[in-house]
Amino acid sequence: MTSSTDLTERPTPAGPAVTPHPPVPAPRRRSGPPRPRAPFRPHHLFFYLLLGGVALSSISAYAWVFNVSMKTNREFISSPPWQIADAWRWDNYVNAWNQANIGLFFGNSVVISVASTAIGVVLAVFAAYPLARITFRFSGVVLSTFLLGLMIPWMVTFAPLYLIMQDLGLLDSRLGLVLVYATYNLPFNVFVLVGFMKTLPYDLEEAAAMDGAGPARTFISVILPLMGPGLASVAIISFLQNWNEFFYALLLIHSPEKMPLPLGLFQLGQAADYGTNWATLFAGMMITVTPVLLGFAVLQKQITKGLTAGALKG
């Protein structure tokens, strides 16, 4: 249940991994092998305290959610927030899995989030390039148009958006949701990527042109490989946004077989609000959050690698 006929046109993401060697020497950035762990220095104490505090708060948050997911509803209400659950109640998880239709919705969520993130990031990186590196008359206007997208609160545009989706026949379709998500990722992605591209040395293109590379090739083989950190950041952020987005999903998808995960969680949330069914909500949270966290933990290595890869080339 992870593929969809709606999505056959999905482009493959272009990334640093598939690019050929740059025809120019890498810019003057970090060189040499990765640095070893820094020896302890006094200001590190400040870092450890700060990070320790943040780590503690986020671990406690997860501990709390997990603990509640093991309680009964009555226990949740009547015991202090941090009292340990008195038994392992995995049946909360079974209930959550069945009630929120997690198996089905999870597949939908993966397809929708991955496709929309890919489209949003790829289109944004292409659009950002001319905006950041080529001066043309209306570049300011085009950039502002993109940035306007950051500033429109969704509550006002949803009614016209619904009508246009209806006219295009994209209502209640995963493709429609993917296109909407991708569009709403674009402004942020363009904004961030333009910022990143602007900080790249300006002699890159000139050097590539000297070597006889055309502008498109220069972009693919010189600029893209240096975009590692920027691309990684916007991809993660877009993905998370698309993964957690709730309102448009509720608005645009009506058939249960096409719904993404937040709609399942939403129903659990309502059951908690109007039926004191908290334990199931928290179990559902754990189920939906764990794969994302694991994914992040695994990808983190790739991302960190991606962050340094650009610099190690050449």
Site for other proteins in 65-94 (CB under 8 A): 65, 73-74, 76-78, 80-82
Q: How many residues bind other proteins (CB under 8 A)?
A: 140
- The torsion angles phi and psi of 97, rounded to 5 degrees, stand at -60, -45
Residue 146: count of CB within 10 angstroms of its CB: 19
Q: Tell me the closest approach of the beta carbon of residue 18 to other proteins, in angstroms.
A: 18
The tokens describing 198, both together, are 């602007």
Taking CB under 8 A as the criterion, the residue among 164, 169, 211, 302 binding other proteins is: 164
Helix (H) or strand (E) holding 185: helix 174-198
Question: Segment near other proteins (CB under 8 A), from 1-9, 17-25, 105-113, 251-259?
Answer: 251-259
Tell which positions 123-162 bind other proteins, by CB under 8 A: 123-124, 126-127, 129-131, 133-138, 142, 145-153, 155-162
- The torsion angles phi and psi of 313, rounded to 5 degrees, stand at -60, 145
Q: Tell me the closest approach of the beta carbon of residue 101 to other proteins, in angstroms.
A: 8
- The torsion angles phi and psi of 87, rounded to 5 degrees, stand at -160, 165
Closest by Cα among 70, 63, 105, 114 to 90? 70
**CB nearer to other proteins: pick between 107 and 183:** 183
Report how far residue 177's alpha carbon sits from residue 171's, in angstroms, rounded to the nearest whole number.
8
Report how far residue 82's alpha carbon sits from residue 134's, in angstroms, rounded to the nearest whole number.
57
Report how far residue 148's alpha carbon sits from residue 138's, in angstroms, rounded to the nearest whole number.
15
Taking CB under 8 A as the criterion, the residue among 61, 84, 87, 94 binding other proteins is: 61
Residue 274 near other proteins by CB under 8 A: yes
**CB nearer to other proteins: pick between 4 and 116:** 116
Tell which positions 165-224 bind other proteins, by CB under 8 A: 166-168, 171, 179-180, 182-184, 186-188, 190-192, 195-196, 198-199, 201-202, 205-206, 209, 214-216, 219
Tell which positions 5-44 bind other proteins, by CB under 8 A: 28-31, 35-38, 41, 43-44
- Summarize the chain as % helix, strand, coil (round to 5): 75, 0, 25
Taking CB under 8 A as the criterion, the residue among 17, 18, 54, 84 binding other proteins is: 54
Tell which positions 97-126 bind other proteins, by CB under 8 A: 99-100, 119, 123-124, 126
Q: Tell me the closest approach of the beta carbon of residue 80 to other proteins, in angstroms.
A: 7
Residue 81: count of CB within 10 angstroms of its CB: 8
Q: Which are the contacts of 215, defined by CB distance < 8 A and separation ≥ 6?
A: 205, 209
**CB nearer to other proteins: pick between 221 and 233:** 233
User: In the block, which residue shows the tokens 């129903």?
Assistant: 267
